Amino acid sequence: MRERYWFRVWTDRVVDIVPPSLGDEKVRGVKDVRIERQSPLFAELAKRNQSTHAGILTAWGVKRSYTRSEIEAAKFFWLRVKRHVGAFGEDYGTTYDDSRACVRCGGRAVRVGRLRLPCRVLPKRADVAVSLAGELVTSVKFEHIWSAAGLTGLSFQDIEAPSGEACSSHRSPIFVGAPADISSVTDIRDNPLARLGVICPTCNREDVLGMAVVSHLTLKRTDALHNDAVATRQLVGLRQGSIRPTPLYIISRRAHSVLTDAGLVGADFEVAAIE
């Protein structure tokens, strides 16, 4: 696996550690720096970020690429949804039971009844997408492919438009099996340069692990992984209005090849390691 990070940093806050020749200053005052995790500069940037009031970062990303043999050897994949539905379910009558949710971070709220969204906001060409609140939707084509291949772990519910009718293009997938567990070796924090913090003092890194998965994902070896799709028990993210912490979605090697062969639109995959 090759792991390349990019950091958009305030140029003046790193001027002494990032040489002028390194990075791209497309916008005056901020610079995009691309580096590998093993680079000594990575550790230096982390140190500077943690010692600078308000930090040095304005944005970041990471791209992991795998060799063919790494993909062939992988047993599980992390489904990373890239397409978005520009709406929140709660604005259209989707209801959550907050009585079991954490009062601080909103983790563990359970949806009550159907996902409600206007059909027109569902992305026509995407087979998988996620709403601004983290609500997952899959196309009718996705459901057909999944069922025809005899894949397990998902059932599909109607998405209900405010008029009461079911949307014909997409469905709401429900994870029917036991959840998988994220291994503690997975690095989850606000960003790759941040100090390891406790995102929610109430959950204390048990259920709600942090803002973002910054390393590659490792799962604990559990029986839950016999299904072709599982969600993780632990959540990532923070409650901000209608945005809630969400699980990560894991699929089997078989589901990966079925979905890849079908030309799935709206997500990409990373290898999920098993500890």
Contact 111, 95 (CB under 8 A): yes
Nearer to Zn ion, 180 or 208 (CB): 208
Contacts of 160 (CB under 8 A, 6+ apart): 93, 114, 115, 116, 117, 166, 167
Question: Residue 37 is which amino acid?
Answer: R
Q: Cβ of residue 200: shortest distance to Zn ion, in angstroms? A: 3
Q: Which C-beta is closer to Zn ion: that of 73 or that of 198? A: 198
C-alpha count within 13 angstroms, C-beta hemisphere, residue 269 = 23
Q: Is the separation of the CB atoms in 271 and 1 below 8 Å?
A: yes
Least distance in angstroms from the C-beta of 236 to Zn ion: 12
Which of 200/264 has CB closer to Zn ion?
200
Q: Judged by CB under 5 A, does residue 104 bind Zn ion?
A: yes
Q: Which is nearer to Zn ion, 83 or 108 (CB)?
A: 108
- Binding-site size for Zn ion (CB under 5 A) equals 8
Least distance CB 235 / Zn ion (angstroms): 9
Position closest to Zn ion via CB: 102
Question: Of these, 151, 203, 219, 230, which contacts Zn ion (CB under 5 A)?
Answer: 203
- Which residue among 50, 202, 240, 260 contacts Zn ion (CB under 5 A)? 202
**Would you say 171 and 156 are in contact if contact means Cβ atoms under 8 Å apart?**
yes
- Give 22 or 198: the residue with its C-beta nearer to Zn ion: 198
Instruction: Give the C-alpha distances (Å, rounded to integers) separating 190 from 7, 60, 193, 275.
Output: 13, 11, 8, 23
Question: Judged by CB under 5 A, which of 56, 122, 200, 235 binds Zn ion?
Answer: 200
3-state DSSP assignment of residue 52:
coil
Q: What is the end-to-end Cα distance of the chain in Å, rounded?
A: 16
Residue ranges in contact with Zn ion by CB under 5 A: 102, 104-105, 107, 200, 202-203, 208
